Amino acid sequence: MTQNKTYIHDYITIQNNEIVLNGTSVFKIDPTDFADFSKQAYRNFEIQYPKFFKMDALSKLAFLGSELLLSPITVADKENNIALILANKSSSLDTDVKYQESLSNKEDYFPSPAVFVYTLPNICLGEISIRHQLKSENSFFIFDAFNPEFMSNYSNILLNSNKADVVLCGWVEFFNDNYKAFLCTISSEENLKHKNETINTLYNK
Amino acid sequence: MKKGVAITGMGIISSIGNSVEENFDSLLNEKLAITRIEHITTVHADIIKVGEIKKTNSELVDDLKLTAENNFSRTAMIGAYAAKQAVKNAGITSINEYRTGLISATSVGGMDMTEKHYYDYFTNPELVKYISCHDGGDVADKIAEELGIKGLVTTISTACSSAANSIMLGARLIKSGKLDRVIVGGTDALAKFTINGFKTLMILSDDYNKPFDNNRKGLNLGEAAAYLVLESDEVVEKQNKKVLARVSGYGNANDAFHQTASSENGDGAYLAMKKAFEVSGLKPSDIDYINVHGTATPNNDLSEGRAILRIYEDEKVPDFSSTKPFTGHTLAAAAAIEAVYSVLAIQNGVVYPNLNFETPMEEFDLKPHTSLKNKNIEHVLSNSFGFGGNCSTLIFSKS
């Protein structure tokens, strides 16, 4: 396998009521909860995708990040071979806990299939795939902390083995209204915008 | 055509039999085993029909010689039961003699135990062990322990394509030289979790399931476990082993449509089959029999049928049938039991009947094969499609 150099193209960070795209703040509001923040962000970017409102918080977070990175580079009616490699620490625990609460009382339980389908972290990959019609490779990992070496390696293997033209990778963590998303797109196409950066330095910015 | 990875052993337990021989006998003699549920108390007992393994948990405990204090879930027990058969069938006496792994698929894991003890374990510490066997990985660990495997042990859970993906991963590990031998397959016991879940999705039939029939009403759930032993050509040669058949192709694709439904035109299914043909180097016309996923839900059969028609374009679609009228849909074990049936089809030159079929679907001109047919079979294609749009295809070939 040839080891072609790979390049970071765009990156996005979502945390503390703010969205930062390629180092520039593109959306910021006064402190509020994530439900409100995500709704305002959706409106701000004039996203037209009603399914967004059915998603759980983790999927909304991953969706918003990927929306700003992928919408400019995906082409309708064409195969977009963009692999998705995401990770976090709390899996889908935020939704798991809500679901568990809905069935914890033996006499009065009310589990909802609409909540249940989000009790897996990789569902957020499915939501992104459905949105952008990606039939490409995807995987979701659970790590104690952001693992840039793993992410770089995995992305490079996918690109160098021609399994993907572009990799969207990153971290989407959500639990109890604490959240952070960091996503970036990587490909073999030369891009010197972030030549002195790695996904680790960008994550920590 | 490329050679493919050798299959040297098989083991199975399903509602139609406790061994490979019993399963084959049922398939030949149209002995389906869809009945009222006996082992689970459920409010749906009078409405649904299931493919239930009639051995009780205590019979399985005895069969496996487990201690009274064991915390095996039913999924782990039927899994260990089938995996042991497979290892024996492959003539393996010293499991760690070669680099041997286990890749086990499950979707419900130890859910049956959790359902029993969920509301009591907080206050009764003695019950905690039944909750700790809940996760899917526990099933693989227990089977590995029963087999004495010290190498790679991992679990795949991608809903109804799980076992296909475990067979695929195993074949890739052999091909890439990471393992010499690997036991691959899947296991899922019936549980309220799946009964209620599928009921809520309104895809359970109250009658016998009728795959590819215009009046199909949904699926019958089933429980089963099956495992195959895959071995490298080096190990096969060294031990002068009999090769039952080969895994010659595999493909997995993402349907990118919906959490619990397939796309109307079967995009993921089409891509999975296409990839499997690429890996095998075979053409669609080389396939003698397709063991379709054929769950008998309105959505699956339409989507799968369209995908097959796209693969075959203007060519004739080979004989195809779903074996789910015999066994029910056994979820994460489905691709494993159907792999066993595919190998048996190759070994014995038979196409199984698609039972319960009466009326062709109005959307297309596709009729499953409805009676037992003897003919030479070189290559079988087997489909398995899971929730989340996880679509997989395997191709098995005569050795």
Mean pLDDT, range A113-119, rounded to an integer: 90
Q: Which amino acid is at B111?
A: M
B305 within 8 A of B363, measured Cβ to Cβ? yes
* Interface touch A122/B388, C-beta < 8 Å: yes
Instruction: Say which of B201, B267, B388 has its CB closest to residue A135.
Output: B267
Mean pLDDT, range B361-366, rounded to an integer: 97
Per-chain mean pLDDT for chain B: 96
CA distance B361 to B234: 47
Segments of A98-160 assigned E as strands = 138-142
CB neighbour list of residue B305: distance below 8 Å, 6 or more residues apart: B212, B266, B361, B363, B364, B366
pLDDT at A2 over 70: no
Residue with tokens 């150099």: A5
| pLDDT, position A113 | 84
Reported confidence tier of residue A42, pLDDT bands at 50, 70, 90: very high
| pLDDT, position B354 | 98
B388 within 8 A of A126, measured Cβ to Cβ? yes
* Interface touch A136/B260, C-beta < 8 Å: no
Looking at beta carbons, which residues of chain B come within 8 Å of A134?
254, 256
| pLDDT, position A151 | 96
Mean pLDDT, range A77-86, rounded to an integer: 92
Sign of CA dihedral B285, B287, B288, B294: negative
Mean pLDDT, range B183-191, rounded to an integer: 98
Cα A126–chain centre separation: 11
Segments of chain B assigned E as strands = 5-14, 50-51, 100-105, 153-156, 181-188, 221-222, 224-231, 245-254, 289-291, 319-321, 350-351, 373-374, 379-386, 390-397
| pLDDT, position A183 | 98
Which DSSP category does A50 fall into? G
Task: Name the residue of chain A whose CA is nearest to B391's CA.
Answer: A135
Mean pLDDT, range A104-112, rounded to an integer: 87
B396 within 8 A of B383, measured Cβ to Cβ? no
| pLDDT, position A101 | 93
Give the CATH fold of the A7-203 domain: Peroxisomal Thiolase; Chain A, domain 1 (3.40.47)
Q: Which residue has the higher pLDDT, B360 or A200?
A: B360
- Could you tell me which of B29, B33, B30 has the C-alpha nearest to residue B14? B33
Q: Which residues pair with A167 in a beta bridge?
A: A83, A186
| pLDDT, position B372 | 97
Looking at beta carbons, which residues of chain B come within 8 Å of A95?
none
At B93 the three-state DSSP class reads: coil
Residue with tokens 């919408």: A71
Express as a percent the part of chain A with pLDDT over 70: 99
| pLDDT, position A132 | 94
H/E run at residue A13: strand A7-15
Reported confidence tier of residue A194, pLDDT bands at 50, 70, 90: confident
B28 within 8 A of B350, measured Cβ to Cβ? yes
Looking at beta carbons, which residues of chain A come within 8 Å of B258?
130
- Could you tell me which of B200, B211, B100 has the C-alpha nearest to residue B147? B100
Q: Which domain holds residue B343?
A: 1-399
| pLDDT, position A106 | 85
pLDDT at A78 over 90: no
CB neighbour list of residue A22: distance below 8 Å, 6 or more residues apart: A10, A11, A12, A193
User: HSE (CB half, 13 Å, CA atoms) of B40?
Assistant: 31
CA distance A15 to B171: 42
**For B57-111, how does the pLDDT look when each residue is reduced to its tens digit (9 = 90+)?**
999 999 999 999 999 999 999 999 999 999 999 999 999 999 999 999 999 999 9
How distant is the Cα of A122 from the closest Cα of chain B, in angstroms? 9
| Residues of A within an 8 Å Cβ radius of B | 106, 113, 116-117, 122-123, 126, 129-130, 133-136, 138
ipTM exceeding the 0.90 mark: no
DSSP for B49-60, please give it.
-EE-----HHHH
B328 within 8 A of B183, measured Cβ to Cβ? no
CA distance B222 to B15: 7
pLDDT at B302 over 90: yes
CB neighbour list of residue A17: distance below 8 Å, 6 or more residues apart: A28, A29, A30, A31, A32, A37
* Interface touch B389/A129, C-beta < 8 Å: yes
Mean pLDDT, range A24-38, rounded to an integer: 98
Give helix B162-175 / helix B334-348 axis angle, nearest 10°. Answer: 70
CA distance B285 to B226: 29
Mean pLDDT, range B219-241, rounded to an integer: 97
Does any CB of chain A come closer than 8 Å to the CB of residue B201? yes
Q: Which residues pair with A84 in a beta bridge?
A: A138, A168
Query: What's the CATH number where B351 sits?
Result: 3.40.47.10
For chain B, the domain total comes to 1
**How many Cβ pairs within 8 Å bridge chains A and B?**
32
Looking at beta carbons, which residues of chain B come within 8 Å of A63?
none
CB neighbour list of residue A10: distance below 8 Å, 6 or more residues apart: A21, A22, A69, A184, A185
Mean pLDDT, range A53-67, rounded to an integer: 98
CB neighbour list of residue B180: distance below 8 Å, 6 or more residues apart: B98, B99, B100, B174, B231, B232, B234, B235
Burial class (CB in 10 A: 0-12, 13-18, 19+), A27: middle
What ranges do the domains of chain A cover?
7-203
Does any CB of chain A come closer than 8 Å to the CB of residue B202? no
pLDDT at B1 over 80: no
CA distance B190 to B269: 26
Q: What is the CB neighbour count within 10 angstroms for residue A200? A: 14
Mean pLDDT, range A134-143, rounded to an integer: 94
